Each structure stands twice: as structure tokens, then as C-alpha cells.
Chain A
Amino acid sequence: MQMRHVSTNLRQGLRRNLSMHVAVVLTLFVSLSLAGMGVLLSKEANLITRALGNELQVQVNLCVRDYPGNPSCVGEVTDEQKREIVRQIEASPEVDSFYFESKEEGFERLKVLLGSEQFEGTTPLVTVKDIPEAIWITLKDPDESSGIVEALQYLDGVGNIQNARELIGPISSMIDGLTYATWALAAVLLAAAILLVANTIRLAALARRKEIEIMRLVGASRIFIALPFLLEALVNAAIGVALTGGVLAAFTKFGIIDGLDAQFDALPFIGWPEYWETLLLVAVAGPVLTLVPTLLLTRKYLRL
């Protein structure tokens, strides 16, 4: 295949419809950025859920020696107390499921939440033995937890009960709202980007109709005729993805790492690993979103 011919056609195509290509790139860039932010926000929501539980969960911390704020905890929870607690949980119609979290597992979760550096060195914040064992209960309905809370809160061996909904409900709602809003905006803009791709192809096909007609008549293959259009779409996608990568990097660095993470110690925040995962998704989505419509529309407009 004549690569020089293809590259000349590509250059001409990009120059001829420059304003349309700029419009495609900008729309793609903004929509991919919004979609990328949506992905980052949902990763943030997952991270918070992993660390603090989701809205359906109730955390029952069992007694340890000198449990802060609960003078009835005189020592470590006994096996008999645990059995009674489990019996109450199993008997409750509000409970969907539950599982035990050991001291070690709780310690690891706390390290994720607050940063492991606070638990190292000569004066750690707490040690494994200070962490209470816990039972994580998943409710059938987040609005119905009063029965199980009442049944457990005065039982021997129970240190305290944390209803995750009260703690993370407002944060989750905000993050969910932002996620859905960015995805909705991204979807609208992606639809605009696809329509722009369609218009670009139609204009290009019109501008090159004589050339395309001759190519068809002399027996150029379908892929050869469509190739300049596909390459133009790929160039648009590459620029759109590159710009999106920059914006998401700035969002991760200045908005999350240097912004929120530096100010709020009590919550875990996403960082560069989540950024790279999101960028990979964007790098796949960008070309797919331009190449698939191009493939379909070249068949239509070029009569291939």
C-alpha cells in the first residue's frame, strides 16, 4: 500500500476540514474529561466504601480493655458474649448478612484510612491490640436499622455501634451526585462528538466525491478508500485523549493529592494508580468512540 499517498491524503483531509476537526477534538476532549472525572469520582466512592463501609452497613465494635467512652467494657469480649451477639444478629429480620473483622484486619483498614505512617515508629497512634474486633452487618434496608441497633447496643461485649449511613451518607450522596452529573454531561457531549464526526465525514466525502468515485471505479479496496477517514478519526482521538490525560492529571494532582487529601485526614483519597487506570479507559474509549462511527458512516457516505 502506498503509505505516501495515504499520508498525503491524511494531511490534506486534516487541513481541508480543520475547523471541523478542531470542533471534534474539543468536544471529545471535554466529554472524555468529564467521563474520566466521573470514573475517578466513582473510584473515590469505592475507596470510601471499602474503608468505612457502605450505607447498608452497621459496624459493631466489640469490647477491648479500656474501650474509650464505654465504661461497661471491662475487658476483651468473651466467646460467650460473641455467641450471644451473633444469636441476636441472626434472629433479626433487618439483617441480610454479616461477617467478622479481626483485630489485624481492622488495623489494616485503619492504616488505609489514616495513612500507614501514623502507625509506625516509636509512638504509633494505636497498635493491633488496641483495635477492637468488629462484626460488619449488612442491612436489607438502610432505613431499617433501629431494631438491630437496639437489640445489640446494651449487650455485654459490645463496645459501640456505628451506623455507616450516618457517617458516610452525606459524602456518598455528594460523590454519587457528582458522578452521575459528570456522566450525564459526558454522555450528552459524546453524542455531540459522534454527530460532529458524522458531519466531518459527510463534508469530507462531499469534498472528495470525484476522487472517491474514481477510486471505486479503478478497484481501490474499501479499506484503502476509508483509510484517510479512519486515520483522521484516530488523529482526533489521539489529540483528544492527550488533552484529557493532561486535565485529569491536573485534577488528580491539584484537586485531590495537593487539595483534598492534604486537608482531610479522616478520609482516604484516590491517587496516581487510579489516575493511570482511568487514563487507560479513556485511551481505549477515545479511539473507539471516533473509529466505530467512522467505520459505519464511511460505508454509508462513501457507498463502500
Chain B
Amino acid sequence: MIRFEKVTKSYPGPGRAALESVSINVDKGEFVFLVGPSGSGKSTALRLVLREMRPTGGKVFVAGKEINRLATWKVPRLRRQIGTVFQDYRLLPTKTVSENVAFALQVIGASSKEIRTAVPETLELVGLADKSARMPEELSGGEQQRVAIARAMVNKPMILIADEPTGNLDPATSAGIMGLLDQINTAGTTVLMATHDYGVVDQMRKRVVELAEGRVVRDEATGVYGFQH
């Protein structure tokens, strides 16, 4: 589903490359943790999957397509197959919970009928059906992250990219979010999650790819966070 072939990414200016000859293969339906210290290249890898940037060398494949050769006008279509969740939720403060979720469908031209069906279904999935009319500021951090997950999933993407989704949450709330991501993965969505949170990695016992200084230093099928222990 996601494949990096000897991917290198350098930013302008001096210093080492953010990623150096990284090769990773994530199969359909897999749940993969991308771990490593700050500056190890996790976020760069996620941004390459989203075609936020192009690699300096090597190839990135998503759903069988080499996306660094993808025409710019085709990038939105690629992104519709990928849901994205961030540490800071990135909800629109002037919209209600359901409006935030509906927004993701409105802006890709979905019909009102589709939106009326998909939004309540997705809010049900994330356990927020009863809070659809609330504003984001009225929700806890965990609930806000659930809204962000609902917005990422409402279009039923094949891949879910999560960049430190539990970074702002306490351990109990994090466990709830991880349970939800696991549920989404079990339903068939490929999940690629960058994290510093060794608690959730150790608890989930999923595949762990560790990056250090832009290189893959570990790839275990059922790993733990590793260097924290």
C-alpha cells in the first residue's frame, strides 16, 4: 500500500539529509508505528506519502502509484485516499463537530445526501454521535482528536496517516484513541502512525519501524518502542 524505495530527502542548506536511502514496505491493512527521536525523519516520511513534497532521490509508491511522478493536478485525488490526523487536531473553531466532519466532504464536492449519511455514521464510529452540535472548544482533548479522526475517516480512505495523535493526551485518553485507531485498522484501513509515545507502542505490539538520523535502524513485526527501555 505504501512503499519507499531508497528514498532520500534533503532540505536546502547545510546538514545531513532528513531521510537517507530509506526503504519501507507497508502492506494493505497493516498497522505500522514509525518511531524515533525528534529530527529522525518521521514527519518527513509522512509528508512524502501525502505528496506535500517530492523526494530528492528514490521512489515513493502509494496504492501502486509512484507519487513523485504524479502530476500536481492529480495530487488532490491521491489525498482523498489518505486520511490525516495531527497532534494539534486542527479543527475549525467556528464550526460544530458535525460541520467540521462534513467540511472534509463538502470541499471535495460530495453531495448533500452523501454528507447527511456519512457524517452521523462516522461520528457514531468515533463515539461522538451525541456531541455533533458541540463546538470544538467545548470538548476535551481526546474528544477533539476523535473529531479529527472522524474528519479523516469520513471519506473512507484506504490509508490513515497519524502524526503524533496522542502527543497532547494523557495515557488513559491515549489508550482510548489507540483503541479507535485499532478498530479502524481492523476494518481494513492501513494505518501509518508516527509517535514518541512508547506507552502506546508497547501496549499495541504492532509492527515498529525505527528511524534514526534519517535511516531505518529497526523494523520489527511486533515491536516495542525500543530505545526507551
Chain A residues within CB distance 8 Å of chain B: 1-2, 5, 210-211, 213-222, 224-225
Contact = CB atoms under 8 A, between A and B. Distances in A.
Interface in B98-131: 103-104, 106-110, 112
B76 A219 contact: yes
Contacts of A2: 106-107, 109-110, 112
A214 B82 CA distance: 13
B69 interface: no
A216 B80 CA distance: 10
Contacts of B72: 222
Given A214-B104, A215-B107, A218-B107, 11 more contacts: A1-B109, A2-B106, A2-B112, A214-B103, A214-B107, A217-B50, A219-B76, A219-B155, A220-B108, A221-B109, A224-B109
Contact of A218 (B73, B112, B155): B155
Contacts of B77: 219
Interface string B146-166: 000001100100000000000
Given A218-B155, A219-B78, A219-B80, A210 B109 contact: no
A217 B73 CA distance: 14
A214 B92 contact: yes
Given A5-B107, A214-B104, A215-B107, A221 B90 contact: no
Given A217-B84, A222-B73, A210 B92 contact: yes
Contact of B108 (A211, A213, A219, A222): A219
Nearest to B80: A219
Contacts of B155: 218-219
Contacts of A214: 90, 92, 103-104, 107, 151
Contacts of B90: 210, 213-214
B92 A220 contact: no
Contacts of A1: 109
A214 B103 CA distance: 9
Contact of B79 (A5, A211, A218, A224): A218
Nearest to A2: B106
Contact of B104 (A210, A218, A222, A224): A218
A82 to B, nearest CB: 70
Contacts of B107: 2, 5, 214-215, 218, 220, 224-225
A289 B152 CA distance: 38
Nearest to B115: A2
Contacts of B73: 221-222
Interface in B50-93: 50, 72-73, 76-82, 84, 90, 92
- Top 4 closest pairs, chain A to chain B, by CB: A219-B80, A219-B79, A220-B107, A218-B104
Contacts of A211: 92, 103
A216 B108 CA distance: 10
A225 B109 CA distance: 11
Nearest to B81: A219
B80 A218 contact: yes
A217 B103 CA distance: 12
A216 B84 CA distance: 11
A218 B50 CA distance: 10
A213 B151 CA distance: 14
A94 to B, nearest CB: 63
A156 B109 CA distance: 84
A283 to B, nearest CB: 30
A176 B203 CA distance: 84
A213 B52 CA distance: 11
A127 B81 CA distance: 83
A211 B93 CA distance: 10
B92 A218 contact: no
A216 B90 CA distance: 13
B141 to A, nearest CB: 17
Contacts of A210: 90, 92
Interface in B145-187: 151-152, 155
A278 B77 CA distance: 44
B117 to A, nearest CB: 15
Nearest to A215: B107
A223 to B, nearest CB: 9
Contacts of B76: 216, 219-222
B109 to A, nearest CB: 5
